[in-house]
Chains A and B, each alone.
Chain A
Amino acid sequence: MRRIALLTAALLLAQGLPARGADVEDLLDVARERALASHPAWRALLHVVPGRLGQTPHSEIPQGPFFLSGRGAEDPAAELEATLRGWLAGPQRGDDAIHCRFPARTRWLADQLGLAGSGSDAACPALDTWREKLSPRGITLIFAEAFMNNPASMFGHTLLRLDVADPSAPRNLLAFAIDFTASTGGDAGPIFMAKGSFGFYPGRFGLSPYYEKLEVYADWQNRDIWEYPLDLDAAEVERVLLHLWELDDIAIPYYFFRQNCSYQLIRLLAVARPQLGLRHGFPVSVIPVDTVRDALGEIGLLGEPRFRASPAAELRVALAELPKAGRRLALELARGIAEPEDPRVAALDDGERAAVLGAAAAAVRYAFVQDDRPDPELRERSYRLLVARSRAGKVQAPAVPRPAVRPDQGHGTAIAELGAGLEDDEAFLELRVRPAFHGLLDPAAGFPRDSTIGVLDTRLRFYPGANRVRLHELVLVELQSNTPRDDFFQPLSWGLEAGLRTRRFPDGDDLDRALVFRAGGSLGLTWAPGDGAVTLYGLALARLEIGSGFDRGVAAGPGVELGVGVETPDDRFEGRLFARGLHFLAGEPATPLAAGLGGRLTLGRRTALLAELTAQHFDGESWLDARLGLRWSF
């Protein structure tokens, strides 16, 4: 009986006749019977996520214009009913028709209820113009790596590109990119952090030409970019596009750590694959590279991702490929010491001249972009170099070698470690957990080199002798950038840290352990002589320690750290050696010294063996801390 009613309704719709009330009721009955409101596809369209901690499932988009029902955000069934009723009763033509405002929802309902070819196909002028303008052939997930010398950007950034041509064609510069952006209204500092952490900023989806995005990420920020063409069929691409339209000007609370840009792009793609982002979940925070892994796992790749080297990486290679004299000449040209008319330039053959002038022009532009108040003379210098370059004919610039390991193939962003060791003469077992992101003794493959950032790095130690567990370290945040210098790139190395650490205070014949809050910063230089297998660094330190172990409760002062790092080319083994001296001048006077070595041996894709040995000297006492650990990344 119901089937007949449904058929009648479908026929009526197919003839363009308004459905009668009874038909809607029948369709709703069918929808209820088939539990369409709890279908993963319907949930994805409404951004409904499973309730956590006893909550019922609800939408991540607040109640408002995104819903037709006044209870749509909490009740997917109510929204389904409101959609169906509104669609069948409301105006069938024009931009305000329900199927023009919510084309992905109505199309899905039409498919499910066998209404295809009915009211949902009536023209929607604004939507149709927009779709025609975009006409995507596919979707590419764009991942921007960290920018040089800035560990804070290491988590990366993601966009989606609506391809207008083959994924690798230059035409895609003109394609549109989708991003999800918070409107922060110019807040800064702690207010910005606090409001961003608790979702006080509205975020919105935006579309802008891909070349404008590259301008920011590649050109100004010098980030390497990976382009992952996603294996979505035409119907799935269409669904994403129609759903994007539904999100036009919809404000969604932006949370820095969880519901951030990368997360919302995953929610958008989920209308193509409803399992996206839900199978593994994102426990604490959403790290962009993890969303790339999730998308590749659920959707897969259409072809090999493209690597787009930053202008800085291109410049580095262009300079490295030059013979020594050519490199010197290019740098003299870039610095204005030599002129393009220099006889040494004229003496080169076309190929060499093109390479030298091209590298010099790129170096000038790099310097210009890096500088907040660039020397106006740089523009004239760049121009003259380009004029000279144009006369050297067509010579291909050297390509930046594609990294062997892609960002999605690097180690897991969270680690857990089980270890055992000796602290002075007392044995301990250690459990370490670090939810994010990349540390000094982690395999560098797939990660930006020379930068590290750790968040909530926590070590618990159990002493079987005393049958006691204590918190050994809780490092809130620790970041370090040790980018090597050469004759052109001359960055400063720097670092910041804050967290709880254990310090041992001599007490009579004993050494008492006590937690101190430690904050510090460093500034220095790093070199990588030869092929980069060995790095050397020197850092000036500033350190503040607060704890009841100090007689005056606090100690602060400067210090120095020197170190060496060694790495095998296959990244299987890494070793580090350091020596550090501090001199506390304020608060408690003291001169703590430390030296140590550490090594990592990679065992498998997720596992590694670690060994660390540190010698410490403080307040007239010396002791050793030795530790062996097995690490998993996930």
Chain B
Amino acid sequence: MRMIRGLRSALLAAALGLALVAAPALADNDVGCGIGTKFMEGKEGLVSHVLASCTNAYTLQSVSLTFNLFGCDGTGPVTADAQLRKFAASHIDQLARDVARGEGEALAAFAHLLQLPVELHGTFGEFTQIHFTELFPGESVDSNEMIDAFYRLLGEHAVQS
């Protein structure tokens, strides 16, 4: 129980720190720069990758040494919250799988983006696993809804403790 309380306060601190950093970015609808949708979010039919040598046909825009490091307009920095949302949008399926089993690399990276100390990652896994259906209330949850649910969950638990 003490562990859970410790986790809650750490999460809260993390979430607060993040909110301060991220406040200006929360309204940023452009986060993810138009990343394709995933399994959990529903997706277009995947193109079969038939002849896979080491060449790739990408649009010119995505081949850049700076584009992915900065905001979608190519200049501003990517905020912590934007980074979290971009990661979640890309790895929503892996996150759902890891949350369901209470651990995993994607969840660990997510916890890192929440600035959660490594010692708390195990407890964090259990915490999210217990709240799976709140984080993923349906089969077509989108990653932003999941993150909002996550913040909401933190708020509720912060009030209770």
Contact = CB atoms under 8 A, between A and B. Distances in A.
Interface stretch (A372-380, A511-519, A569-577, A587-595): A372-380
A158 B54 contact: yes
Contacts of B108: 170-171
B105 A170 contact: yes
B102 A393 contact: yes
Interface in B43-74: 45-60, 62-69
A285 to B, nearest CB: 11
B106 interface: yes
B55 A383 contact: no
Interface stretch (A96-104, A241-249, A425-433): A241-249
A368 B39 contact: yes
A379 B65 contact: no
Interface stretch (B8-16, B124-132, B143-151): B124-132
Identify the interface centre among B53, B90, B106: most chain A CB within 10 Å of its CB: B53
Interface residues of B, number: 58
A379 B109 contact: no
Interface in B121-159: 125-126, 129-130, 132-133, 136, 138-140
A437 B94 CA distance: 34
A172 to B, nearest CB: 8
A254 B55 CA distance: 9
A382 B99 contact: no
Given A173-B109, A394-B101, A133 B39 contact: no
B6 interface: no
A578 interface: no
A118 interface: no
A215 B59 CA distance: 18
Interface string A218-243: 01110000000000000000000000
B57 A182 contact: yes
A371 B47 CA distance: 9
A459 B148 CA distance: 65
A386 B132 contact: yes
B52 A150 contact: yes
B105 to A, nearest CB: 4
A389 interface: yes
B17 interface: no
B117 interface: no
Interface residues of A, number: 75
Interface string B94-120: 101101111101101100110000000
Contacts, number: 184
B51 A152 contact: yes
B40 interface: yes
A547 B56 CA distance: 38
Nearest to B49: A221
Contact of A372 (B45, B66, B99): B45
A201 B53 CA distance: 15
Nearest to A170: B108
A288 B54 contact: yes
B137 to A, nearest CB: 10
Interface string A133-150: 110000000000001001
Identify the interface centre among A185, A205, A208: most chain B CB within 10 Å of its CB: A208
Given A152-B51, A211-B91, A372-B48, A181 B58 contact: yes
B64 A207 contact: yes
A365 interface: yes
A288 B53 CA distance: 10
A153 B63 contact: no
Contacts of B139: 379-380, 382-384
A209 B87 contact: yes
Given A209-B87, A247-B65, A394 B126 contact: yes
Interface stretch (A7-15, A107-115, A256-264, A323-331): A256-264
Given A182-B55, A372-B48, A390-B129, A176 B101 contact: no
A173 B105 contact: yes
A409 interface: no
Contacts of B55: 181-182, 184, 196, 201, 254, 256, 260-261
Identify the interface centre among A155, A170, A256: most chain B CB within 10 Å of its CB: A170
B92 to A, nearest CB: 11
Contact of B65 (A207, A219, A362, A374): A207
A155 B51 CA distance: 11
A361 B52 contact: no
Contacts of B101: 354, 358, 389-390, 394-395, 397
A130 interface: yes
Identify the interface centre among B45, B46, B101, B108: most chain A CB within 10 Å of its CB: B101
Interface of B: 39-40, 42, 45-60, 62-69, 77, 83, 86-87, 90-91, 93-94, 96-97, 99-103, 105-106, 108-109, 112-113, 125-126, 129-130, 132-133, 136, 138-140
Given A129-B77, A174-B109, A249-B65, 4 more contacts: A157-B54, A171-B112, A174-B83, A211-B106
* Chain A to chain B: the 6 pairs with minimum beta-carbon distance, closest first: A383-B139, A390-B132, A170-B108, A153-B52, A184-B57, A386-B100
14 contacts: A150-B52, A153-B52, A155-B53, A171-B112, A182-B55, A201-B55, A206-B58, A208-B62, A209-B68, A209-B90, A248-B65, A372-B48, A379-B139, A394-B129
